[in-house]
Structure 1
Amino acid sequence: MIFFFSSYEKIRYNDVDLINENTDAPIGEISENREFRQNFHYDGQYLYKLEFITASYGRKNSGTITMTVTDDQGGIIAQGKVKAGKFRDNAIYSFAVDKPLHSASGNYTLTITDTGSTENNSATLYTSKEPPYEGKLTIDGTETDMALAMSIYGGYDVGKLHKFYMFSGIILCLLIAVWFYNYCRLNHGHSTVLGNIIKEFHRYRFLMNQLVAREFKTKYKRSALGFFWSFLNPLLTMIIQYILFSTIFRSGIENFPVYLLSATVLFNFFTESVGNGLGSITGNASLIEKVSVPRYIYPVSRVLSSAVNMLISTIPLLLTIIFTGSRITKAYLCIPLIYILLIIFCVGMSLFLATSMVYFRDTQFLWSIVSLMWMYATPIFYPESIVPAKFSFIFKINPMYYFLKAFRMITISGISPGIGQYGMCALFALIFLIFGWIVFHRHEKNFALYL
């Protein structure tokens, strides 16, 4: 129900985007007492944002720019205000609409006005000779032969809700069937794989809690700031990377601080949890030889300990989102789902690498190299658009790319990822969990011989 509420538009509508690919001259300064009207035609039935290429003339401008979208009857669909000082040279500004459209003709008007800006103290937008939509730009009542360099993002209603209900019903029936099967087996004194796992987690929950708490406390032992470093670390990392990369890679990246910090929080968790899980068996050799407990508890506890750090690191991310003026929408309810799928993915990686570490101690050194390569193969601080098309396959086989892309759709665009995005995240999570579990389970009986 939460997923349906937060992802309704992505379930009901197919994406139909009109993306602008070129810019020409600026439209002129958006100063007070000037009015810019852009008529545009869009056949879609849902509109969630408009994107523009902005310019500031290299100045820190003042004033407030107001954007209003109306239908062919003059009814206001969306209205928003932005400080002119937020416009940067060759940057992207997103104007959120997030509304179903009701214009029978498909014709709309975007009106741009300003209050508080004067000549030589105001920002501007760009025009395009070949816009992806039909429409002309009117400046102070005079129609021009230009159009705004504007991208339109929305979709058509394709009536997919019945498919979602059917899919949800199938999943619910499968879950009920699995529960009923395990309940009947356990009631008759028989064991099941799922039942054994649940029993073990319940039986050793105290040990799991102690291991998670130990890992968390050990990390900040004798530290003056303690766990507050979980808050500061991603924030300081973001500030340093922002200073280094904002002038190099910022062009074309919307809301670069949130873009950068969103990736930092997720990728730091990934490298930390898998790096800690890698040495979870060899690091607890003395405990494993003395205490008979399921050994998968050790890598799982390492991942869960890092998950606590990730949750704390989310706080500076939310503060950055609020500070930069980004919208907090109902799509944020889907963030826990992305976190859960990422945790499952990291558990699978940890199980596999922890097994490998027992037999091959050089795994830790290889992982440090692989994780570094993985970081550069993931668009953390650079836009994916700068990667040549012949190397785009790297993103398609990179699980972290899908997690980051889904997470950024929520934190930057304020919309829920599509079902396909969630599906790819879930697919990678389950594949790595099953693979890691099989490898770990087959070799754990021989751990004592190599520890």
Structure 2
Amino acid sequence: MILTVAFRLVAGEGFESGTVTSQMVREKAVTPEILTNTVLEQVFVSECDRITELTLLGTNYGKNVDDELRLTVLDGDGQTVASAGLNTAGLPDSFLWSIPVENSTGGHRGEMLTLQVTSVAGSTGNAVSLFYGDTISAGKYELDIPVEHPLSVDGDAVTGQLCLSVRGESRYPLARYYWHTMAALLVLLLLFCWWMIDSDRRGRSNLILRLLSAATRYRFLLKQLVQRDFKTKYKRSILGVLWSFMNPLLTMMVMYIVFSTLFKSNIVNFPVYLLTGIVCWNFFSEVTGSCLTSITGNTALITKVYVPKYMYPLSRAISSTVNLGLSLIPLVIVMLLTGTRLTVRILLLPFPILCLFLFSFGMGLLLASMMVFFRDTQFLWGVISMLWMYLTPIFYDAEIIPAQYMTLYKMNPLYHIIRIMRILLINGVSPEPKAYLLCAAVSLIPLFLGALVFKKAQDRFVLYL
């Protein structure tokens, strides 16, 4: 209950609502000049609760048109939902014109609205026109506005849709039912605890009780394995633990020089953006690489002493987590040096880190199992991991991915984990509730699959070691 309340208070407004921007069709032609007696109407379905800005693609034919456009958004009953005015003097030609909305009312998400565009003093030769089209521009968009009616000029239909983008505030549906969901989870948790206590009293064994018993019985061994792995990594190294600080920093410096000078990256706060991706990828790569040989590298112990076999990959993963904690220190230092504002949202960072650990450990269990039966796994994984790195937005912006491939691209769990970390660190706000659910799902599913494969195969490990 404490975590539930604390999470909601720390997440703040970013968890409750966010900004929605619709996509714009590609321009094909222009409307007639908008004169004082001209009325343009475009019907659209609102994807936001309250409209804050309208963006139009227009042209003044290279002239300094002294006019004012009036934009009015009406609901199905003809009532004004929002209104705005645009002074056309000095506007750039064939450019996006952004108009802040005035007197906007909320609660119109999913409703069919009508945008009316009129002119105050437009005359022939001294008026502007707006672009329209019928195809979607290539690119990445989170949301769109489905247009069900064509553009009309003075009541006559025009083949196409107005080059219109609507920006506004939208309350997330999952945030509305946050407390209801948490109350239901609390009830399930209480029932689960009652079931555990009842099973313990009756002497019934289950997976959870066995795991808890093993964690208690072998915690000293687990501690020794973690210390051994950590010490072995820096054995005979002059700098030792300092490499946990220097490795991500040196990698960031090399990539920063390459992508900020040679390839001219335009990403905002690129050093923090890049270092966040490097820290996450290094942890994933270290966990999977060390878990890969966790069983085959402990043959002497496995064949002579009984220890739950998952202890070996688990100790490797925990050892890598210690390195991750050390790597976060230079990340915070770079944030301070670049002037990145530290907000209270940084307290939410344990969530993506936990998801990163669960996902990496799940993949490690799967690789450890495959390595026992198929020793070429280590060579194949070297190629796959390199490809995976380039498919993860570490040093580039995910928006460069074409829209038709974006769904496939988002199937990469690291995309969701790194995205949440960057939003918390760089933007200083909480991501939308759906981001947390996706992050948890893409972490728990590989963990479940890896644990299932490892459990089914562990009894045959000794036959192949």
Whether TM-score is above 0.5 comes out as: yes
**1:16 and 2:30 aligned:** no
**Aligned residue in 2 for 1:281:** 295
1:367-403, CA deviations, whole angstroms, 9 ceiling, x for partnerless residues? Answer: 0000000000111111122223333344221111111
**Aligned residue in 1 for 2:431:** 417
**Aligned residue in 1 for 2:362:** 348
**1:3 and 2:7 aligned:** yes
- Kindly report the root-mean-square deviation, in angstroms, between the aligned alpha carbons of the 2 structures: 2.8
Detail structure 1 runs of 4+ shifted over 2 Å in the superposition. 14-22, 43-47, 104-107, 126-129, 131-135, 151-162, 247-252, 385-394
Letter in 2 for 1:8: G
Letter in 2 for 1:130: L
Paired with 2:199 and 2:322, the residues of 1 have a C-alpha distance of 35
Letter in 2 for 1:327: R
Paired with 1:431 and 1:158, the residues of 2 have a C-alpha distance of 25
Which of 296, 301, 326 is equivalent to 1:312?
A: 326
Q: How does 1:263-412 map to 2 (within 5 A)?
A: 263-412=277-426
1:127-174, CA deviations, whole angstroms, 9 ceiling, x for partnerless residues? Answer: 994234338xxxxxxxxx9xxxxx998724568655000111111111
Which of 105, 119, 133 is equivalent to 2:99?
A: 133
Which of 206, 214, 217 is equivalent to 1:192?
A: 206
Paired with 2:346 and 2:50, the residues of 1 have a C-alpha distance of 23
User: Bigger shift: 155-164 or 399-408?
Assistant: 155-164
* Residues 131 and 303 (structure 1), Cα distance of their counterparts in 2 relative to 1, 3 Å cut: farther
User: Bigger shift: 420-429 or 366-375?
Assistant: 420-429
- What SS class does the counterpart of residue 426 from structure 2 fall into? helix
Q: How does 1:206-221 map to 2 (within 5 A)?
A: 206-221=220-235
Q: CA deviation at 1:327?
A: 1.3
Q: What are structure 2's unaligned runs of at least 5 residues?
A: 27-47, 53-80, 85-91, 102-127, 129-164
**1:432 and 2:453 aligned:** no
Letter in 2 for 1:286: A
Percentage of pairs with the same residue: 41
* Residues 349 and 336 (structure 1), Cα distance of their counterparts in 2 relative to 1, 3 Å cut: same
TM-score, structure 1 as length reference: 0.71
TM-score, structure 2 as length reference: 0.69
Q: Contact 1:277–1:354 (CA<8 Å) still a contact in 2?
A: yes
Q: Contact 2:51–2:166 (CA<8 Å) still a contact in 1?
A: no
Paired with 1:358 and 1:160, the residues of 2 have a C-alpha distance of 43
Q: CA deviation at 1:225?
A: 1.1
Q: What are structure 1's unaligned runs of at least 5 residues?
A: 23-42, 48-103, 108-125, 136-144, 146-150
Letter in 1 for 2:399: S
User: Bigger shift: 253-262 or 172-181?
Assistant: 172-181
Q: How does 1:98-247 map to 2 (within 5 A)?
A: 129-134=95-100, 155-157=169-171, 161-247=175-261
Q: Contact 1:250–1:256 (CA<8 Å) still a contact in 2?
A: no
Q: Which has the larger radius of gyration?
A: 2
Letter in 2 for 1:9: E
